[in-house]
């Protein structure tokens, strides 16, 4: 059968019309050829389907190959908006890992005083676009904030916020800690 195939943007129009409750069809369609896989993996397609089919996030062009995140001793503290916040007791480090792009950002060492650990602490990562309208579908490439909450005998309850915008990603590990602001 000699049939002219629809162009990529028409294929997108077709694939976008799969029922939201049928992600399996989308997975199969992604297999048809590289062009279709690219269409389904594209950020624009993810954005268009995000409200109906949050599943499309799995069609990433490249599987994560992070070696650092597979070393023992890393613990996931939080995962939000396409980022994972990992902590290593061994190295006393926190990194923010984007599993889709495999990009890692090492946060500046926050704690110099081991006494801070005694009373417990936790941290969370979140979108840092500052836009309340952000759909969080494709903001994982943008700025982020890490909020650290701890308690100590000398400081009491305290919060620190790391912003990837005010602290450049590269060389962040070498910057004097903490470059973040103190709140509350």
Partner 1 sequence: MAAPESGDGNNGAARMVTLISSDNTRFEVEAAAASLSQTLQLTILDGGGGGGDGIPLPNVDSATLSKVLEYCIKHAPAAANGGAPNATAVDRAELERFDNEFVNIDQSVLYSLIMAAHNLEIEGLQSLVAKKVADMIKGKSPMEIRRTLGFPDPTPEEQAEMNAHMLEYGWAYE
Q: Is 18 in the site for partner 1 (CB under 8 A)?
A: yes
- One of 8, 14, 166, 171 touching partner 1 (CB under 8 A): 14
Element (H, E) at 158: strand 156-163
User: Based on CB atoms, which residue is closest to partner 1, 4 or 184?
Assistant: 4
Element (H, E) at 27: helix 23-29
Q: Is 184 in the site for partner 1 (CB under 8 A)?
A: no
Closest distance between partner 1 and the C-beta of residue 23, in Å? 8
64: left (phi over 0), alpha (psi -120 to 50) or beta: beta
- One of 21, 31, 72, 153 touching partner 1 (CB under 8 A): 31
Q: Is 21 in the site for partner 1 (CB under 8 A)?
A: no
Residues near 43 by Cβ (< 8 Å), separated by ≥ 6? 138
Q: Which two tokens stand for residue 42?
A: 């594209």
Q: Is 43 in the site for partner 1 (CB under 8 A)?
A: no
Q: Is 10 in the site for partner 1 (CB under 8 A)?
A: yes
- One of 8, 13, 113, 165 touching partner 1 (CB under 8 A): 13
- One of 8, 28, 52, 112 touching partner 1 (CB under 8 A): 28
Closest distance between partner 1 and the C-beta of residue 31, in Å? 4
CA angle 64-68-69, nearest 5°?
Answer: 60
- DSSP reduced 3-state for 96: strand
Residue 19 CA: distances (Å) to CA of 25, 36, 44: 9, 17, 18
| Interface contacts to partner 1, rule CB under 8 A | 1-7, 9-10, 13-19, 22, 24-25, 27-34
């Amino acid at each position: 059968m000699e049939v002219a195939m629809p162009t990529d943007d028409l294929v997108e129009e077709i694939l976008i019309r799969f029922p939201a409750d049928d992600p399996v069809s989308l997975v199969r369609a992604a297999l048809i050829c590289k062009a279709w896989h690219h269409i389904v993996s594209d950020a624009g397609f993810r954005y268009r389907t995000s409200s109906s089919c949050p599943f499309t996030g799995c069609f990433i062009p490249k599987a994560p190959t992070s070696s650092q995140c597979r070393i023992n001793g890393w613990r996931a503290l939080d995962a939000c908006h396409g980022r994972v916040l990992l902590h290593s007791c061994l190295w006393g480090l926190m990194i923010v890992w984007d599993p889709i792009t495999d990009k890692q950002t090492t946060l500046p060492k926050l704690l110099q005083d081991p006494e801070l650990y005694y009373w417990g602490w936790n941290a969370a990562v979140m979108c840092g676009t500052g836009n309340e309208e952000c759909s969080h579908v494709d903001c994982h490439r943008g700025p982020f904030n890490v909020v650290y909450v701890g308690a100590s005998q000398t400081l009491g309850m305290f919060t620190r916020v790391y912003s990837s915008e005010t602290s450049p990603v590269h060389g962040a590990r070498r910057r004097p800690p903490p470059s973040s602001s103190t709140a509350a």
